[in-house]
Amino acid sequence: MTIQFLTISQLSDLLKNKKISYEELVDETFLLIKKYSSINSFITLNQKQALIDAKKLNVSNDQNSLTGIPIAQKDLFCTKGLKTTCGSKMLSNFVPPYDATVVSNLNSAGTICIGKTNMDEFAMGSSNETSFYGNVHNPWKEGFVPGGSSGGSAAAVAAGLVPAATGTDTGGSIRQPAALCGLTGIKPTYGRVSRWGMIAFASSLDQGGPICRNAEDCALLLDAMSGYDEKDTTSLKIDPTKINNNINEPLEHLNIGIVREFKQSDLSVDSQQLFSNTIKEFENLGAKISEISLPNIVQSVPTYYVVAPAECSSNLSRYDGVKYGYRSSNADDLESLYVNSRSEGFGEEVKRRILMGTYVLSSGYYDAYYKKAQQVRRLIKNDFGNAFKEVDVILTPTSPSQAFEFGSKGKKDPTELYLEDLYTISANLAGLPALSMPNGFINGLPVGVQLIGNYLDEEKILKLGHYFQKETDHHLKKPNLEGFA
Amino acid sequence: MKWEAVIGLEAHVQLSTETKLFSRASTTFGDEANTNVNLVDCGLPGVLPTVNKNAFYKAVKFGLAIDASINKVSIFDRKNYFYPDLPKGYQITQMEKPILEGGSIEINIDGLKRKINITRAHLEEDAGKSIHEGFKGTGIDLNRSGTPLLEIVSEPELRSSQEAVAYMKELHKIVTFLDVSDGEMSQGSLRCDANVSIRQKGETELGTRTEIKNINSFKFIEKAIEYEIKRQIAVLESKEKVEQETRLYDSIKNETRPMRSKEFANDYRYFPEPDLLPVVITDKEINDIKKHFPEMPKEKSIRYVQEFGISESDSSIISNSKNLSNFFEDCIKIVNDKVLLAKILVGDISSLLNKDAKEITDTNFTPENITQLINLISDGTISGKIAKDVLDQIRLKNIEPYEYIKEKGLTQISDEDAIERIILEILAKNPEQVEAYNNGKDKLFGFFVGQVMKATQGKANPKSVNLILKKALSNKHT
């Protein structure tokens, strides 16, 4: 029996019916990970502890849906006693003394942490190519990117090594890799999931969420991850979601909006066709489709690339070679300790964003950039508020492109890669929940579609995703991994 | 040429909260390095700040005392700069929307009262400390990192070093009475930066200012500002320009020196702290603080006079010190002679405190032993002279007044027959002095009193001695 490509619910059934033990499941998982190690989806494995944890479960024997389920953690969630690098040389020696709330929530739900997944350095990137730990292959095609920044998480799930992984999403870092790897991923409402222990990139945009094989599993995992945390004052004072129990409830009279400002011409002809097909599929499911306007949405990318770097430039100041992390050995005074530790410890993209952020916050430029960007951000938020008076859910493509070849984008002009986030960024700016799920293939590579929900409407978009997946089979396709074994 | 100094102070007051502003680590001073530090204080990856509302309550309390307007929604900002004792690479402070704006503090120099306006007061976290002794290189102690500070910025309305000190003393009084801070300057609980400039008298434009950083005693505030004023006058009188710069005061050489430009040439890149929501103070919370507002020196002073009949000058001295007034109020519950209590507190006890440069809380004096002493004086058991001795013995050996008096046989002689016997003996021994006295040499009265006291080792009740002596002398006359 192979456990590869099984969903959480399928694995849970196997465990419940004693078709497989917790330890066997963990062992099988590590066999798979080793077999497909060339994908490079993991930075650190947690094999010893995972087996200990599995053994403990045999004793307690209290089977919930998540008990004993192997989960991969994106390597920016702090894991007590387990190296957490954030994809950076800067934290290549960092072992956190504490667990992120997401990690402890999932641990107490009974999941088993298998290891830490590869990612763009400090979550800055859309192709996983900025990682200090090397490129990650898209399981659908060797030499092609899995997307980013949660590229390792997406690749590990797409290759069927684990049924689910955590990700974080600052501008699309869950949804875009989910789309490029044929998976379902959700970025929850800002504040739904605690950021305690989630290494910050841009505090006002960062949000953790799951990447799974389908919407049902996403609901299950989100229910376990979410909830108010007194250690994060920006987390919302509401109970964890309880979506998985209701996921099969019918959705009636659903109005879906299509964004007028997202021009079809931004997509390839094939993508346009796929998107039109998806609209038809939703219509066939009984949804009413209408066009809505988000007048300021065209400003999302520039707005994002002011706000996110500004916050990142400050958040990354703590990596100075003084207390933890990488310290340059070529330092003879305080100034050179700072300069050399940071110059040697950070990669190019991180440095680029720190520079941008430092620039836009500089005295004399603050009003023109950061303050203006925050004003535009408010306008974008208002646009969504107006749109959700008319529709329940907004449907967009997830990404303008499919997986692309290593090194093919952003070499000359880094902003080329920034446009990858065109459809995803606005949900972060507005703090809205958004889900990506597969809606077809072009040349054998998966394509994703995005459902943006109103504030706290995770249930609606997950139900709609689940409904769609009951009627379609895009999410059931599996990549051929022969080349990786 | 007549010069005038223009001084504004930025005072940093450490708030006396149990835990830090953004973490629940203890704020205890003087513990072993890096023991009062948690994940948040050392700025580990992934940690987040949470607000200590008690710090806000203390700030609001201060605001109410100086009649400032309270921003019910206050926002935190990040001030970005690199320093080894600043673990996050930024300080969380309030730039755009401080908790307090406006208000004033009244200073009083030789009876001349002046209101100094306050620009603003904001909450921020303190940094850690760099330690250079006992290390190869530099050590970092993060115990102080995250301790809540209230930075109180005055308008540039102070005109002399004396006024600056008076302002800081008044501020010290307010924050200690309110229990907003322990005010311990030696531990850095109250310190200030002074902005100093000079201009010709009558001029309304401000001159170029320098900022003297981190002065931590009243004496140094006076000396540093004094030095800086003289220095700037000398610069201007030699037709040169004052540089706008940050300077440090060296208390050993008694001079100010410019800091290296790298140490302050920062663009702090302020922006709103995205990890914290705006903090809201409700009317109910403000009203609760008002309801439990402590009595301030002015009110105390008036009440002491009205309620206990003590003199205005004694009352004002006692009520201006938190420690003295606390002590006074503890005694008042058990002491009968309140006037005498006030006199002794302001007189003998205060001079002993001055002599030892101590606060009353750091001595052997307790409401119990002082009450015993006062009662011994007022019921005539001991004289004022003996009382002084008893106080000194409390101070040095922590004796119990009742026991000590008994043991040493210092009980005052109030038996009038006994006193009369002694007086008559003395008069008989000194016929010449008696005659001289009766011939109008009144000053000799003191001689006789002295002789009586000598004979009784100071234990004779002075009142009785006076009375009986007068009677005895006039009997001799006739």
Cβ separation B276–A233 shorter than 8 A:
yes
Domain that holds residue B353: 295-408
Kindly state the DSSP code that residue B19 receives in the 8-state scheme: B
What residues of B are in contact with residue A99 (Cβ under 8 Å)? none
Q: Which of A78, A203, A322 sits opposite B45 (nearest CB)?
A: A78
Domain co-membership, B269 together with B308: no
Domain co-membership, B268 together with B372: no
Residue of A73, A78, A170, A318 to mutate when probing chain B, most B C-beta within 10 A: A318
pLDDT value of position B477: 60
Contact between A85 and A44 under an 8 Å Cβ cutoff? The reply is yes
Greater confidence (A269 vs B462) lies with A269
For residue A173, indicate whether it is catalytic.
Answer: yes
Contact between B434 and B476 under an 8 Å Cβ cutoff? The reply is yes
The whole-number average pLDDT for the span B312-316 is 92
Domain co-membership, B340 together with B427: no
Domain co-membership, B170 together with B310: no
Across chain B, which distance is largest between two alpha carbons, in Å? Answer: 101
Percent of chain B with pLDDT over 70: 98
CATH of the domain at B428: 1.10.10.410
- Positive or negative, the CA dihedral B32, B34, B38, B40 is positive
What are B210-243's pLDDT values in tens digits? 999 999 999 999 999 999 999 999 999 999 999 9
pLDDT value of position A411: 82
What are B358-386's pLDDT values in tens digits? 889 889 999 999 998 998 888 777 877 88
pLDDT value of position A199: 98
Cβ separation A362–B267 shorter than 8 A:
yes
Q: Which residues of chain A have pLDDT under 70?
A: 1, 59-61
Cβ separation A78–B82 shorter than 8 A:
no
For residue A153, CA distances in Å to A149, A163, A168 come to 9, 10, 10
pLDDT value of position A61: 60
Cβ separation A96–B45 shorter than 8 A:
yes
Cβ separation A323–B51 shorter than 8 A:
no
For residues A213 and B55, give the distance between their C-alpha atoms in angstroms, rounded to a whole number: 48
CA distance B27 to chain A (A): 19
Question: Does the beta carbon of A230 lie under 8 angstroms from any beta carbon of chain B?
Answer: yes
Domain co-membership, B19 together with B87: yes
Domain regions of chain A by residue span: 8-256+390-484
Q: Which of B45, B270, B274 sits opposite A311 (nearest CB)?
A: B274
- B262 has a pLDDT exceeding 60: no
What residues of B are in contact with residue A314 (Cβ under 8 Å)? 78, 80, 89-90, 269, 271
Across chain A, which distance is largest between two alpha carbons, in Å? Answer: 69
What residues of B are in contact with residue A86 (Cβ under 8 Å)? 45
Residue A17 C-alpha from the chain's centroid: 32
- B21 has a pLDDT exceeding 70: yes
For residue A149, indicate whether it is catalytic.
Answer: yes
Cβ separation A317–B48 shorter than 8 A:
no
Percent of chain B with pLDDT over 90: 65
Confidence of residue B461 (pLDDT cuts 50, 70, 90): confident
For residues A467 and A233, give the distance between their C-alpha atoms in angstroms, rounded to a whole number: 35
Question: Does the beta carbon of A98 lie under 8 angstroms from any beta carbon of chain B?
Answer: yes
For residues B78 and B89, give the distance between their C-alpha atoms in angstroms, rounded to a whole number: 10
- B264 has a pLDDT exceeding 60: no
Domain co-membership, B86 together with B149: yes
For residue A74, indicate whether it is catalytic.
Answer: yes
pLDDT value of position A298: 92
Q: How many other CB atoms are there within 10 angstroms of residue B343's CB atom?
A: 18
What residues of A are in contact with residue B84 (Cβ under 8 Å)? 320, 322, 334
pLDDT value of position A143: 97
Cβ separation A86–B87 shorter than 8 A:
no
CA distance B82 to chain A (A): 7
Q: Tokens 């010449």 belong to which residue?
A: B432
For residue A459, CA distances in Å to A166, A225, A284, A454, B119 come to 19, 14, 21, 10, 50
pLDDT value of position B443: 87
Q: Which of A12, A104, A127, A149 is catalytic?
A: A149
Contact between B469 and B448 under an 8 Å Cβ cutoff? The reply is yes
**Residues in chain B whose beta carbon is closer than 8 A to a beta carbon of chain A?**
39, 42-51, 78, 80, 82, 84, 87-90, 140, 262, 267-271, 274-277
Domain co-membership, B179 together with B323: no
Cβ separation A196–B275 shorter than 8 A:
no
The per-residue pLDDT of chain B, averaged, comes to: 91
Domain co-membership, B278 together with B308: no
The vertex-A192 CA angle with A190 and A196, nearest 5°, equals 90
Cβ separation A370–B271 shorter than 8 A:
yes
| Burial tier of B101 (Cβ tally within 10 Å: 0-12, 13-18, 19+) | middle
Domain co-membership, B198 together with B266: yes
Q: How many other CB atoms are there within 10 angstroms of residue A253's CB atom?
A: 8
Indicate the angle between helix axes B416-429 and B431-438, nearest 10 degrees.
100
CATH superfamily of A8-256+390-484: Amidase signature (AS) domain (3.90.1300.10)
Q: Tokens 């603080």 belong to which residue?
A: B289
Q: Which of A41, A65, A153, A173 is catalytic?
A: A173
Domain co-membership, B321 together with B426: no
Q: How many other CB atoms are there within 10 angstroms of residue B392's CB atom?
A: 13
What residues of A are in contact with residue B39 (Cβ under 8 Å)? 97-98
Contact between B216 and B185 under an 8 Å Cβ cutoff? The reply is yes
Contact between B33 and B139 under an 8 Å Cβ cutoff? The reply is yes
Cβ separation B271–A231 shorter than 8 A:
no
Domain co-membership, B22 together with B130: yes
Q: Which of A94, A97, A233 sits opposite B51 (nearest CB)?
A: A233
Chain A 167-206, residues with CB within 8 Å of chain B CB atoms: 195-200, 202-204
pLDDT value of position B17: 96
Question: Does the beta carbon of A94 lie under 8 angstroms from any beta carbon of chain B?
Answer: yes
Cβ separation B271–A366 shorter than 8 A:
yes
What are A59-84's pLDDT values in tens digits? 666 778 999 999 999 999 999 999 99
The whole-number average pLDDT for the span B245-256 is 92
For residues B244 and A325, give the distance between their C-alpha atoms in angstroms, rounded to a whole number: 38
Domain count, chain B: 3
What is the per-residue DSSP string for B130-171? Answer: EE-TTSSS-EEE-TTTT-EEEEEEE-S-B-SHHHHHHHHHHH
Residue of A168, A205, A323 to mutate when probing chain B, most B C-beta within 10 A: A323
Q: Which of A234, A317, A322 sits opposite B84 (nearest CB)?
A: A322
Domain co-membership, B312 together with B251: no
What are B415-431's pLDDT values in tens digits? 778 888 888 888 888 88
Residue B50, CB-side half-sphere exposure with 13 Å CA sphere: 16
Contact between A205 and A124 under an 8 Å Cβ cutoff? The reply is no
The per-residue pLDDT of chain A, averaged, comes to: 95
Cβ separation A317–B275 shorter than 8 A:
no
The whole-number average pLDDT for the span B336-350 is 91
Question: Does the beta carbon of A392 lie under 8 angstroms from any beta carbon of chain B?
Answer: no
Residue of B38, B82, B141 to mutate when probing chain A, most A C-beta within 10 A: B82
Cβ separation B88–A203 shorter than 8 A:
no
